[in-house]
Copies of this chain bind each other. A is one copy, B any other.
Amino acid sequence: MFTILPVKGGLGVVEGFFCDGVNAGLREGTQPDVAFIRSDVLCDVAAVFTTNRFQAAPIKHYQLHEAGFQTNFVLMNAKNANAMTGKRGIEDIDTILSALPKKLGVHNPLMSSTGVIGYPLPVEKITSAFAKFDFDAKNSDAAAQAIMTTDSFKKELALKVELENGNTFHIAAICKGAGMINPAMATMLCFIVTDADIPKEEMQPLLKQSADQSFNTISVDGDTSTNDTVMLLTSRKSSAYDKEAFAEALNMLTHRLAMMILEDGEGSNKVVAFEVTNARTKEDAIKASKALSNSLLVKTALFGEDPNWGRIASTIGASGIECDEERLVIRYDDLLIYSAEYPVLDKEREAKAFEIMKQKSFKISCDIGLGSAHHTSYGCDLSYDYVKINADYRT
């Protein structure tokens, strides 16, 4: 028995962690563009990175550390991805991190970047932030603002977990991502901190499964970036821990942040769950539900609020999975849309389908009828605004 409750304060609620964000001139205006998270103790760290073969310099820099290393400092910046920048990209990170004030006593400091690919980091602008930071602040809001790119709102969440014996721990995260999101976890950054007394060896597997059930089930546009990072740091300032409670809180946190990314999908107006059931294999279920969440014709039909189930069926058929039109059943929420017995959508059911599609979120479920495997992916519609944002975007 345990309870998990959302609390205000973002990263600031977690004991031992400090954070801030300031504008260092990487973007115009006053919105922060450089941020840090630090801890007053050394933290164990777990991380999941992009599957893109061209990993950005900060990811390569992370991987230069020995397995099991500890850290107490992570620096982040927006507007420049430090990707496809060669050796200079890693040297720039070292230059920047070496300029951190000595009094902080940073150990194995890390860096994480998001923005445009192929330009060297503006080293002096970034280090100019160090004089502006309040290194003892718990300014989670400013840190969450600093990592935003095309995001239209900041993404931040904190949970308090109370165990049966009354002991508590916290877990909190800031996150960014709105476009280039795909089931293989594309341009998104998520920094999770906790004071739970989690055993070191449980961190990486728990983080991996949590990313799989959250960030890896969502798609805005099917592209996968060079910089994706989900990182977990623990200060262990609370003596409390329970594996089941921690896993559930972590999964709630990452799932909710993933839905926030989707709600903020570039030009997105609605969030749709694509549930595939009774597929022959798990691979088939994943393949079909990801094909649905990535199909341009499905996404534009969602935007047009057109219950054109032929595009759903056609996408399933084209996905390469085992399927049979005699067995396929398609539902929108609980409404039967297609089965071999009722191939024609009559006026009454069509009217109901139009109603369902007007909602801000709903479920499209496809029963393949050939097995028992299932998978759900989450996607959004494709609007004029997606095209506008991505034709114009060049941060």
Contacts and interface: CB of A to CB of B under 8 A. Distances in A.
A315 B315 CA distance: 22
Contact of A382 (B118, B309, B387): B387
B314 A86 contact: no
Given A52-B314, A225-B314, A317-B226, A116 B391 contact: no
A384 B394 contact: no
A70 interface: no
Of A81, A85, A311, A318, the most chain B CB neighbours within 10 A belong to: A318
B304 A344 contact: no
Contacts of A225: 314, 318
Given A53-B323, A84-B338, A223 B318 contact: yes
A84 B53 contact: no
Of A84, A88, A226, A322, the most chain B CB neighbours within 10 A belong to: A84
B326 A119 contact: no
A213 interface: no
A121 to B, nearest CB: 12
Question: Which of the four size classes fits the interface of chain A?
Answer: 35 or more
Nearest to A317: B54
Given A306-B391, A311-B117, A52 B226 contact: no
A316 interface: yes
Interface in A215-236: 221-226
A98 interface: no
A363 to B, nearest CB: 20
A295 interface: yes
A221 B297 contact: yes
Interface string A160-186: 000000000000000000011000101
A335 interface: no
Interface in A105-139: 116-120
Interface string A293-314: 0011100110110101111011
Nearest to A223: B297
Of A116, A180, A300, the most chain B CB neighbours within 10 A belong to: A300
A120 B345 CA distance: 11
B303 A340 contact: no
A94 interface: no
Interface of A: 51-55, 81, 83-86, 88, 116-120, 179-180, 184, 186, 221-226, 295-297, 300-301, 303-304, 306, 308-311, 313-318, 320-323, 325-326, 338, 340, 343-345, 382-384, 386-388, 390-394
17 contacts: A52-B318, A53-B318, A53-B323, A54-B314, A55-B317, A81-B310, A84-B313, A88-B343, A118-B310, A118-B313, A186-B318, A224-B317, A225-B314, A300-B391, A301-B390, A304-B391, A382-B387
